[in-house]
A and B are shown apart, each in its own frame.
Chain A
Amino acid sequence: MKFSSSGYLIKEGLKNIWNHRMMSLASIIVLVSCLIITGAAMLLSANVSSLISSIGDDNQINVYLDYEMSDIDAIKLGSQIKKLPNVDECEFYSKDDAIKEYKNKLGNLYESMQGDDNPLGNAYKVQLKDLSEYKQTIEQIKKINGVVSVSDRGDIARTLTKLNYFVTIVGFWVVIILGVVTLFIISNTIKMTMYSRRFEISIMKSVGATNTFVRIPFIIEAMTIGLIAGLLSSIILISIYNPVRETASNVISFIGKSTIPLEELWGFILLGFSGAGILIGALGGFISITKYLRKEGGEILGW
């Protein structure tokens, strides 16, 4: 193929999209849906991984004390915790400080939850020295009289690990199945274009056009459809990412801190999705036009 033909071939590819605009639009819509589902699965998996690693890195546990315990008993209990060999720091966290953290979320209810009406108990924020002795230290703390519960984030980590495994497996199959679906959709769109242009292809073949020359406009058409779908789906994902993240943070407070901020992701989403769209388009277009040329496309119609 000569370089001088590239402008003509690109123009032909783009013209194909316009000439079959309804079919192209339908393909773009289905592709966008597939890419959004795939992208959402990938983003969920990435965020769950990030959560797990942040929990793993966090060596702080909360020790909740008996609600009825007096302040003096609480101080004594604190000194018992401090004596444990794996405890680095032990900071008292009063129920008044605790309720203050929920001031914004509680709104009008906050005022009615002061003093004796405060439903929360006193607690200690305990910093551990060695995470490998995490479990043993928690067991030792639990045995101290007056300790109601310990925030064992290891359980959350284990649950999240299971969730991550599930999301990864499901995500993998979602990517594979939707990848095949998108390939099928793009291939079908190109097949339609080829069918409507089979007469032109036949004339091209009769005057000596090479298969590469015949293929290129169809591949460009498929790549452009893929690119448009990739751009649209990434824009949609980028615009819904933060609202979804904030909603999740409102439901589970620690999520907000540990998820991946949009600033770190948008470039990857935009480039990744556009690239994936172009790649799937090129592959789908190439498969269908090659199959067509191998079968009936090499013949001169009706001769």
Chain B
Amino acid sequence: MIHLKNVSKIYSNGTEALKNISLDIEQGEFVFIVGASGAGKSTFLKLLIHEEKANFGKIKVNGYDLMKIRNRKIPYLRRTMGIVFQDFRLIDKMNVYDNIAFAMRAIGSPEKAIKKRVQYVIDMVGLKGKEKCRPNELSGGEQQRVSLARALVNNPEMIIADEPTGNIDPKMSFEIMKKLVEINKRGTTVIIVTHEHELVKEFGGRIIMINGGEIERDEKLPTKYHPADITDSEPSYSE
């Protein structure tokens, strides 16, 4: 799913953000990327979505060779992943439904499929009844759930969450993390960038620590949290 070999990233100002990194992340893994500010976590995520290009090495993500990918193929790479931002990135003038539907409209999905799928992910993230609310009428936790629903709506193979709990209170953080675990149990790879060590200890999984642009630690912790069995079936696009 993700394969990095001897990857280095040096910015034009000379900053060496990543130094000779090699790692593999398999389908269905639950991964925390941890590290101090400026350690290279964000650069790592930017390389995955091809927001930045590595200077050296090999990167393969969801079947795309990112060292050779053509510009017109980048949108299709990004459709294989959903991104959750720390600051939610919701459009103020749109309600919850439209914020989520926007991600499907942006890739040209038919309106019928949008209706079905959006309602499904709204229910999944626990926002039923809030469809008509604007982002400013929601709490931080609810806004992050909208952001999560938007990331999920195109049925991605992988969720990339950049500090998803950074702007919400501890109780809501726990709820968001539970949702991410639920999503992971459905087979979606989840990569979470965070600096909240408590959450990492609480939820466990694979922990990759980046420090000074290098991988300092890569280990698996036992998962303490087990979501209830998920019994509802997910509608497919073809429905």
CB-contact partner of B106 in A204, A299, A302, A303, under 8 A: A204
The interface bits of chain B over 153-193 (1 if a CB of A lies within 8 angstroms of the residue's CB, else 0) are 01000000010000000000000000000000000000000
**Closest CB in chain B relative to A203 CB, distance in Å:** 6
CB-contact partner of B51 in A1, A204, A209, A299, under 8 A: A299
Q: Which residues of B contact A79 (CB under 8 A)?
A: none
- Asked if A207 is at the interface (CB within 8 A of a chain B CB), the reply is yes
A203:B102 contact, CB within 8 angstroms = yes
**Closest CB in chain B relative to A6 CB, distance in Å:** 9
Q: Which residues of B contact A204 (CB under 8 A)?
A: 102, 106
Q: Which residues of B contact A299 (CB under 8 A)?
A: 51
Q: Which residues of B contact A8 (CB under 8 A)?
A: 105, 111
A207:B150 contact, CB within 8 angstroms = yes
- Given that A203-B91, A208-B79, A303-B51 are known contacts, is A5 also in contact with B46, CB under 8 Å in the complex? no
Q: State the CA gap A250–B102 with chains docked (Å).
A: 63
A213:B108 contact, CB within 8 angstroms = yes
- Asked if A300 is at the interface (CB within 8 A of a chain B CB), the reply is yes
- Asked if A206 is at the interface (CB within 8 A of a chain B CB), the reply is yes
- Asked if A67 is at the interface (CB within 8 A of a chain B CB), the reply is no
B110:A2 contact, CB within 8 angstroms = yes
- Asked if A58 is at the interface (CB within 8 A of a chain B CB), the reply is no
A207:B107 contact, CB within 8 angstroms = yes
B108:A5 contact, CB within 8 angstroms = yes
- Name the residue on B nearest A8 (C-beta): B105
B150:A1 contact, CB within 8 angstroms = no
Q: State the CA gap A4–B72 with chains docked (Å).
A: 21
**Closest CB in chain B relative to A89 CB, distance in Å:** 75
- Name the residue on B nearest A6 (C-beta): B108
B106:A209 contact, CB within 8 angstroms = yes
A213:B106 contact, CB within 8 angstroms = yes
**Closest CB in chain A relative to B65 CB, distance in Å:** 17
Number of residues in A with C-beta < 8 Å to the partner? 22
- Asked if B83 is at the interface (CB within 8 A of a chain A CB), the reply is yes
- Asked if B49 is at the interface (CB within 8 A of a chain A CB), the reply is yes
- Asked if A210 is at the interface (CB within 8 A of a chain B CB), the reply is yes
- Given that A199-B89, A203-B102 are known contacts, is A208 also in contact with B46, CB under 8 Å in the complex? no
The interface bits of chain B over 96-118 (1 if a CB of A lies within 8 angstroms of the residue's CB, else 0) are 00000011011111110000000
- Asked if A200 is at the interface (CB within 8 A of a chain B CB), the reply is yes
**Closest CB in chain B relative to A204 CB, distance in Å:** 4
CB-contact partner of A210 in B49, B75, B85, B87, under 8 A: B75
* CB interface residues, A 208-238, toward B, < 8 Å: 208-211, 213
Q: Which residues of B contact A300 (CB under 8 A)?
A: 49, 51, 83
**Closest CB in chain A relative to B183 CB, distance in Å:** 16
Q: Which residues of B contact A213 (CB under 8 A)?
A: 106-108
Q: State the CA gap A200–B105 with chains docked (Å).
A: 12
CB-contact partner of A4 in B49, B77, B110, under 8 A: B110
Q: Which residues of A contact B87 (CB under 8 A)?
A: 302
The interface bits of chain B over 122-149 (1 if a CB of A lies within 8 angstroms of the residue's CB, else 0) are 0000000000000000000000000000
Q: Which residues of B contact A205 (CB under 8 A)?
A: 75, 78
- Asked if B225 is at the interface (CB within 8 A of a chain A CB), the reply is no
Q: Which residues of A contact B108 (CB under 8 A)?
A: 1-2, 4-5, 213
- Name the residue on A nearest B80 (C-beta): A208
* CB interface residues, A 243-281, toward B, < 8 Å: none
The interface bits of chain B over 31-49 (1 if a CB of A lies within 8 angstroms of the residue's CB, else 0) are 0000000000010011001
- Given that A206-B83, A209-B75 are known contacts, is A303 also in contact with B42, CB under 8 Å in the complex? yes
B77, B78, B79, B107, most chain A CB atoms within 10 A: B107
* CB interface residues, A 1-19, toward B, < 8 Å: 1-2, 4-5, 8
**Closest CB in chain B relative to A113 CB, distance in Å:** 76
Q: Which residues of A contact B150 (CB under 8 A)?
A: 207
- Asked if B11 is at the interface (CB within 8 A of a chain A CB), the reply is no
- Asked if B76 is at the interface (CB within 8 A of a chain A CB), the reply is yes
A208:B51 contact, CB within 8 angstroms = no
B154:A210 contact, CB within 8 angstroms = no
Q: State the CA gap A8–B110 with chains docked (Å).
A: 10
- Name the residue on B nearest A1 (C-beta): B108
A199:B91 contact, CB within 8 angstroms = yes
- Name the residue on B nearest A2 (C-beta): B108
A206-B83, A209-B106 given. 4 additional CB < 8 A pairs?
Answer: A200-B91, A203-B106, A207-B83, A300-B83
Closest 5 CB pairs of A and B: A208-B79, A208-B78, A209-B106, A2-B108, A5-B108
A sample of 9 cross-chain residue pairs with beta-carbon separation below 8 angstroms, ordered by A number, consists of: A1-B108, A202-B89, A207-B107, A208-B75, A208-B154, A210-B72, A211-B72, A303-B46, A303-B85
A residues bordering B, Cβ < 8 Å?
1-2, 4-5, 8, 199-200, 202-211, 213, 299-300, 302-303
